[in-house]
A and B are shown apart, each in its own frame.
Chain A
Amino acid sequence: MNIYVLLKRTFDTEEKIAVNSGRIEDDGAEYIINPYDEYAVEEAINLRDEHGGEVTVVTVGEEESEKQLRTALAMGADKAVLINTEDDLEEGDQFTTVKILEAFFEDREVDIILAGNVAIDEASGQVGPRLAERLNMPYVTTITSIDVDGDTVNIERDVEGDVEKVETTLPLLVTCQQGLNEPRYPSLPGIMKAKKKPLDELEIDDLDLDEDDVEPKTRTMEIFLPPEKQAGKVLEGEIDDQVKELVSLLKTESKVL
């Protein structure tokens, strides 16, 4: 099988966020593979181990994304591709990323593309379904299990807590939800091997695209932090009295009861 994973590099979930001159401060921030994309890498490796073939991990990003791609290779992916926009593009949005990915996939043999359900930074959840539509592929979002049998694919997906069982066919795009698997940690031999695995770098020019083709359709006007929460009130006294006070505060002060 020709298995592809879409991988985005994101801030570590532990990071506190600061805004500096209208941008998210990224100085000194720790980065990780978007957690949902880890599920995608893990599932891709499992599919390959079961059905044969090759796992290629693709990122649209900057030079620094190499680190996360190497981690995916160390987990067991076979190849990585970095589409580096650093020198060519100043701005982008979901449309931009998908336009680039569409050009990348245009004349490739693809059986399945695995993406994350959402990236934890810009968090639109658009990239998977948008790309599937451009590639004219069926897609299933927020999957929690997948079973490929020939061209038939059986999937369970999470729909706001309910489980939906879906049957579909390859080629296919899926987006991964928590519960799909337990992503492995890269092993030491895995890390050593990853150093020798191919990591290709492309620019949009290599995909016959120029800046105008990928011009974003949206614009970010401002980034700001949520208002600082005022220190709350920790109640005191006997538990019985605290409970009474709480109900009364919820009723009269904050008016939510």
Chain B
Amino acid sequence: MSKKVLVIGEAREGSLRNVSFEAIAAANIVSDGGEVIGVLCGSGDLNEMGKEMVYYGAERVITISNEELKTYTSDGYGQALAEVIEDESPDGIIMGHTAIGKDLTPKLASRLESGLISDATEVVNDGGSIVFTRPIYSGKAFEKKEITDGLVFATIRPNNIPPLTRDESLTGEVTEKTVEITNIRTIIKDIIRKSTDGVDLSEAKVIVAGGRGVKSAEGFEPLTELADVLGGTVGASRGACDAGYCDYSLQIGQTGKVVTPDLYIACGISGAIQHLAGMSNSKVIVAINKDPEANIFNVADYGIVGDLFDVVPKLIEEVKEMKVNA
């Protein structure tokens, strides 16, 4: 049965996040030939971002621009989206499983007394029934789930559902809606940016991660350089975070971020089960460790037994050379 599906888009530093395009692709499966409508909240002119959603497959886009929506709050976004949902009575809603997605969607689902499937890595239309796959027990298992009552409401994990091909010849209306925002109960006083490159670990295509074997904060420097030449970002094990070599925001694992990049390079990480929980579903895993018995080699596609301070600089040079020759 064809459905009308809303996709809640999300920007980071002025441009739409990739996961919003992935959400359009997911919504396209859910809609089963129905309509996919993008929704954007923010401040200033959102028209260009609206068009971008159209190029990625949204049939039309509704934008809500309001100074009160400049930074995300659950109350502000909640009110804006409640009105869109009221106007459109959608059959489904899809959003990225990002910080905002995690904070906002349970509120909306709860208000609508609807089910919600969080953190899906796959969506299929199985003869009209929409089936979501999601990791459970930190990726040690998966479950297939469906909504049995109400809206088909889900968040999708970044980097798992491929977006549709961008096509600038696609056209669709971008309409602005005015919403009055009142009574925001949580006031954002300040945001201290710690992430440097604007790419969140969960969305990174390449991650170079360091563990206790990196030995110091300075020890992360070659890893950062390797990440730079590969166009990726740096992550860490809890061992490295606990030792104070880096910020907890970089932690990957059961109690940190769960990531699925195309390439994960683990340097000086032993491969504790709690760490594997956060990265074992990466597409390609490389392990660099001086201990040939380290557990990380059991999940690695390629391993180098050696001192990371010897291997990583050489790897940087080799990648640079490859790029020059390419």
- Asked if A165 and B140 make an inter-chain contact with CB atoms under 8 angstroms apart, the answer reads no
User: Which residues of chain A have a CB within 8 Å of any CB of chain B?
Assistant: 11, 13-14, 16-17, 19, 24, 35-36, 93-95, 98, 120-134, 138-142, 154, 158-169, 178-179, 215-226, 229, 231-235, 239-240, 242-244, 246-247, 249-251, 254, 256-257
Given contacts A94-B116, A120-B138, contact A160 B98 (CB under 8 A): yes
- Asked if B118 and A125 make an inter-chain contact with CB atoms under 8 angstroms apart, the answer reads yes
- Asked if A168 and B144 make an inter-chain contact with CB atoms under 8 angstroms apart, the answer reads no
Size class of the B contact interface (CB-based, 8 Å): 35 or more
Judged by a CB distance under 8 angstroms, whether B106 is at the interface is yes
- Asked if B302 and A232 make an inter-chain contact with CB atoms under 8 angstroms apart, the answer reads yes
Given contacts A141-B102, A247-B315, contact A254 B301 (CB under 8 A): yes
What residues of chain A lie closer than 8 Å to B311, measured between beta carbons? 239, 242-243
What residues of chain B lie closer than 8 Å to A218, measured between beta carbons? 115-117, 145-148
What residues of chain B lie closer than 8 Å to A161, measured between beta carbons? 194-195, 200-201, 247, 249-250
State which residues 93-148 of B face A: CB under 8 Å: 98-99, 102-107, 109-111, 113-119, 131, 135-148
CB distance from B149 to the nearest CB of A (A): 5
CB distance from B231 to the nearest CB of A (A): 10
- Asked if A126 and B74 make an inter-chain contact with CB atoms under 8 angstroms apart, the answer reads no
User: Which residues of chain B have a CB within 8 Å of any CB of chain A?
Assistant: 74-75, 98-99, 102-107, 109-111, 113-119, 131, 135-150, 185-195, 200-202, 206, 230, 247-251, 254-256, 262-263, 273-274, 277, 280-281, 283-287, 292, 297-306, 310-311, 314-315, 318-319, 322
What residues of chain B lie closer than 8 Å to A120, measured between beta carbons? 137-138, 254-255
What residues of chain B lie closer than 8 Å to A215, measured between beta carbons? 149
- Asked if B110 and A134 make an inter-chain contact with CB atoms under 8 angstroms apart, the answer reads yes
- Asked if B187 and A166 make an inter-chain contact with CB atoms under 8 angstroms apart, the answer reads yes
Given contacts A133-B111, A165-B189, A217-B148, contact A223 B304 (CB under 8 A): no
CB distance from B200 to the nearest CB of A (A): 5
Our pick among B136, B150, B187, B248 for the contact of A123 (Cβ within 8 Å) is B136
